[in-house]
Amino acid sequence: MKGLVLIMDGMGDRPLKEFNNQTPLEAANTPNMDQMAREGINGIMDSIAPGIIPGSDTAHISILGYNPYEVYTGRGPFEASGVGVDVIPGDIAFRCNFSTSDENGIITDRRAGRIRDGTKDIVEVLNTMVLEDYPDIKIIFKESTGHRAVLVLRGEGLSDKVSDADPKVEGNKPKEVEALDASPEAKKTADILNKLVVKSYEMVKDHPINLERMENNEPPANIIIPRGAGAVPVVEAINDKYEINSACIAETGLIMGIARFAGMDIIEMEDVTGGVDTNLDNIRDTILDQVKNSEHDFFLINIDGADEAGHDGNAREKLEFIEKVDRVVMSELKKLDDVYIFLTADHSTPISVMNHSGDPVPVIIKGPEVRVDDVEKFSEVDAAKGGLCRIRGSDVMNIMMDLMNYSHKFGA
């Protein structure tokens, strides 16, 4: 038996006046997902708990059966893992921006003109960084998409209890990183970061990529601004915990990073952007290929575009992306008769909020032996009348493993 949890990131929403008080999902024309709703059991889900606003990271952690309140200390480690840094317990990881600094240390562009190319070359130089005062601390940079990068500090006596260097507003110097508790570890880590920010500018301000950018009147990527410190957690591998052979099919480093922590295999895809312009054909084909031809029996799948449209407050784009996923992806997935499909979102990203909210998300479980209810349509409002009633993200793995007959009895 195979199973997949397909998460349409940020798909949940609130009623919108422009859609006649329907949500984008309600208003969208989704014949394939509606068919799945009719053939499945439906419900609503709080990824963490009712009213709690999940991040994509904490929601996925919860859905994979880990307690985000225990595991999650910050986004850095998941980002780092997602872009392929082999983080280990004890590491402190950060999200970074390549930014533009002038010679006075003022940040003139927090995203270095949204640089697309060349950051890999700049990172090669940065990865030779050794701080005089901390020769034993290993400093690992890795570029991510666009102006984004990650930073991992490895060594003795480090802490994730440090503030961000991100000045948030252009025209300011990077913020002095501060210890957030009284420990010597936090003090040391803050000092490392402050020196690292300065040194990054010294090391790459005259990098050929940056000289070229300046010649072209583009802001150089000449300084690294870290934020989102997190300590790398240790978790039991999901394959051991549930006796599965699992894989993750996702577009973004964040989700791949979480899957990597859980020990899932990561299936790479070409041409996926995490936006509404992503290549859904590739995603669909990858899913079908994996389900039909691989040894994996359990999949975490994340399609990100609806969340992006929600963050942008673009209702029409969100609706159209949902319709496109229905047309391109679900039209085929719905035919997988001998597979359990858990279709849901990780959280709502209401158009009106332009950020995540704690509103529950709709769920369909379709598969050979579910108790089919009388819900006829996939939507936030319809799902609430379904046979699952209201569940939590932490129930997902248990429900799937049970339906797949992978679980063991607790008791006799």
Measured from the CB of residue 68, what is the shortest distance to a copy of itself in angstroms?
A: 7
Minimum gap (Å) between residue 352 Cβ and a copy of itself: 6
Q: Report the nearest approach of a copy of itself to the CB of residue 145 (Å).
A: 15
Q: Are 36 and 364 in contact (CB under 8 A)?
A: yes
Q: Which residue has the tokens 């041409």?
A: 271
Q: How far apart are the first and last CA of the chain?
A: 24
Q: What is the DSSP letter of 312?
A: T
Nearest residue to 371 via CA among 392, 360, 384, 386: 386
Among 129, 225, 238, 397, contact with a copy of itself (rule: CB under 8 A): 397
Region binding a copy of itself by CB under 8 A among candidate stretches 44-52, 86-94, 243-251, 277-285: 44-52
Distances (CA, A) of 141 to 145, 189, 226: 13, 16, 11
Distance of alpha carbon 66 from alpha carbon 45, whole angstroms: 16
Find the angle CA(387)-CA(388)-CA(389) to the nearest 5 degrees: 90
The C-alpha atoms of residue 175 and residue 189 are separated, in whole angstroms, by 15
- Residue 197 as a binder of a copy of itself (CB under 8 A): the answer is no
Which of 54, 226, 253, 310: binder of a copy of itself (CB under 8 A)?
Answer: 54
Determine the 3-state secondary structure of 341 from DSSP: strand
Choice between 156 and 240, CB closer to a copy of itself:
240
Q: Which segment (86-94, 98-106, 207-215, 380-388) binds a copy of itself by CB under 8 A? A: 380-388
Min CB(192)–a copy of itself separation in Å? 23
- Please report whether residue 58 would count as binding a copy of itself according to CB under 8 A: yes
Nearer to a copy of itself, 82 or 118 (CB): 82
Per-residue binder mask for a copy of itself (CB under 8 A), 1-20, x = binder: -------------xx-----
Q: 201: exposed, middle or buried (C-beta count within 10 Å: 0-12, 13-18, 19+)?
A: middle
Which stretch in 28-36, 106-114, 297-305, 368-376 sits in contact with a copy of itself by CB under 8 A?
Answer: 368-376
Q: Which stretch binds a copy of itself (CB under 8 A): 130-138, 209-217, 280-288, 381-389?
A: 381-389
**If residue 228 lies in a helix (H) or strand (E), which one and from where to where?**
strand 223-231
Chain positions 234 to 273 lying near a copy of itself, rule: CB under 8 A, are 254
The one among 8, 107, 303, 400 contacting a copy of itself by CB under 8 A: 400
Give me 214's structure tokens.
């300046």
The residue among 155 and 233 lying less far from a copy of itself, judged by its C-beta, is 233
Contact between 384 and a copy of itself by CB under 8 A: the answer reads yes
Strand partners, 43: 363, 389
Q: How many residues does the chain have?
A: 412
Q: Decide: is 381 part of the binding site for a copy of itself (CB under 8 A).
A: yes
Q: How far is the CB of 79 from a copy of itself (least distance, A)?
A: 9
Q: How far is the CB of 170 from a copy of itself (least distance, A)?
A: 22
373 near a copy of itself, judged by CB under 8 A: yes
Judged by beta carbon, residue 19 or residue 134, the one nearer a copy of itself is 19
Determine which residue in the list 11, 280, 300, 388 makes contact with a copy of itself, applying CB under 8 A: 388
List Cβ neighbours of 407 (8 Å cut-off, separation of 6 or more). 398, 401
Phi then psi for residue 401, to 5 deg, are -65, -35
Residue 105 makes contact with a copy of itself by CB under 8 A = no
63 three-class SS: helix
* Helices of type H across 359-408: 380-383, 396-403
Q: Is 291 in the site for a copy of itself (CB under 8 A)?
A: no
Greatest distance between any 2 Cα atoms in the chain: 74
**Token pair belonging to 21:** 């008080």
Which is nearer to a copy of itself, 72 or 134 (by Cβ)? 72
Whole-angstrom Cα distance, residue 218 to residue 241?
Answer: 50
Binding interface with a copy of itself (CB under 8 A): 14-15, 21, 23, 43-44, 48-59, 61, 68, 72, 75, 228, 254, 350, 352-353, 355-359, 369-373, 380-381, 384-392, 395, 397-402, 405, 407-412
